[in-house]
Amino acid sequence: MNRRSEKASKHRAALAPFPEPPLIRLRYPVMLMHGFGMLAAVCRGGMLHPMAMRLRAHGIRAYAPNVAPYETVPVRAAMWQARLRHVLDETGADRVHLIAHSMGGLDARYLITVLGAHDRVASLTTIATPHHGTALADLVLEQPERVRTWMAGLTGRMSAAAMKEASTDFVRAVAELTPAYVEETFNPAVPDHPAVRYRSYAGRAGRGTGVPMSPLLRPLNHLLFARDGVNDGFVAVERARWGTCLGILDADHLQQVGLKLALRSRFDAATFYLDLVRQLAAEEP
């Protein structure tokens, strides 16, 4: 047997009986909700699109719609409401599981309580959502007016280029993420609905953790650490806890959605989302 034949023979011998990914039996579809901004989102089809496709490979009816990246919670939540309606219509399901990253978690809470989607949501799991605000928003608003105006203009152009239907209200959206606004205005007006299960994860990396941090987030991580303590570059651990806290992820804000810029990071976003969905499946009635 020559070398080529031997190699082909070994390849055939290595075939698994069932090479496809194992199915995960989940009663309800999953809608992934992205957060503020759109870093690297366009080239990925959306911030959480790769995660949805990975879940679909396991038989999960997973969706990762896109909404206005630089808008306020009420505006984004109204867009999510339309996306939710599409998911329910296409799947024929009567409820969904929501998995929301960052600001998406505030959108989801508003969608459930204020827009009345509680009867269409089985559970909400948030990841690094600023449920108690983030001091990073304060830092942005403390910048000189010319800087804020420049940032608003830049995000407006980016948003318009990415989504024709997306309006932009950068400064007001950032103001809605400050600790003062979230704790004193948003949280009292948006209580949890008893019909929905609320769970959360926080994230940590960089200063005070020993967890590798994406170079892009290191300056923010240091500034936020001085004000809020251990954080993931955007949201402090203690400000992300809500409902039943399921744990703290050793991953920065970008790694949590699969943008792995810290080469030494051991966090595998795809595996995390798969495990999360398996947990949801195990808990379904």
Place of tokens 């950032």: 174
Residue 2 lies in a domain: no
In a domain, 13, yes or no: no
| Residue 273, both tokens | 């989302």
> Mind listing the pLDDT tens digit for each residue in 180-190?
999 999 999 99
What pLDDT score was predicted for residue 176? 97
What local confidence, expressed as pLDDT, does residue 166 receive? Answer: 80
pLDDT on residue 159? 82
Q: Tell me if 116 is assigned to some domain.
A: yes
Tell me whether residue 19 is in a domain: no
CATH number (domain holding residue 134): 3.40.50.1820
Residues of the chain predicted below pLDDT 70: 1-13, 39-43, 262-263
pLDDT at 134: 98
Does 5 fall in a domain?
no
Decide if 7 is inside a domain: no
Say if 4 falls within a structural domain: no
Host domain of residue 147: 24-283
Q: Count of domains in the chain?
A: 1
